[in-house]
Amino acid sequence: MDTIKNNNSLNTSARAIDLYARAAATLYGIISFDDFCKILEVYYRTGTPSRNRIIAYFLTSDNDDPIYYIQDERIVHASIFPYEIASTLMEIQQSAFAPPSRSYRILPQKEFLQYADPFFYEDTCGTRQMEEYLTDNLGISQEDAEGIVAEMVFVCRCGASPTLVQDALTRRGLPFGRECYLDLITIACEMEPEIRRWETFGHTNAEIANA
């Protein structure tokens, strides 16, 4: 990733473009080629490859990335089935949480590229509280707790029901009861506003409120 950050010129290798596409899919869920190119222009200005060049790459490459796929000139997160694209786009556009501008949050480049890692999640009061609950109250190891929080953050990011946070525990066969369930939901609801979500176009709730 260092070759991407050096200077202000875009490394247009397959790996470089793939990293940006992975980050965009994670952060926004679905993004058109046009909007993806606009984001690259913010980072690289005149060094940005043309839209046609980027489209040619996506349309001719044999993409086997587990994070995203290409459909109708859009980068789509792999968790969204092709038949769900139209309805998911509508839900995002019509969300009560969307910024009035319906514009994507363009993060500093280094921060944006962190989202290319599918296990990355924001270091916030809410995520730290969840980690502490899992390790201190449930006796889960730090490594397992981080993996569980990553799954829970994704539940928040994609707009799924907070009740699904329990799945991250049950899949691992970890202790789970009614009291634990209510605690998890409470902390997840407190965690959600600080998470960059698809329905907020990558903004946090505070950023939208202060815009």
Question: For 84-107, how does the pLDDT look when each residue is reduced to its tens digit (9 = 90+)?
Answer: 999 999 999 999 999 999 999 999
**Region of poorest pLDDT, from 55-64, 84-93, 100-109, 183-192:** 55-64
Q: What's the confidence (pLDDT) of residue 90?
A: 94
For residue 102, the one-letter residue type is R
Residues linked to residue 77 through DSSP beta bridges, in sequence order: 68
Q: How many domains does the chain have?
A: 2
Distance in angstroms (rounded) separating the CA atoms of residues 181 and 161: 14
pLDDT band at 28; cut points 50, 70, 90: very high
Domain final residue, candidates 51, 73, 105: 105
Q: What domain range includes position 181?
A: 125-195
Question: For 118-151, how does the pLDDT look when each residue is reduced to its tens digit (9 = 90+)?
Answer: 889 999 999 999 999 999 988 889 998 999 899 9
Do residues 100 and 141 both lie within one domain? no
Do residues 130 and 100 both lie within one domain? no
- pTM, two decimals, is 0.86
Classified as helix, coil or strand, 190 is: helix
Do residues 89 and 146 both lie within one domain? no
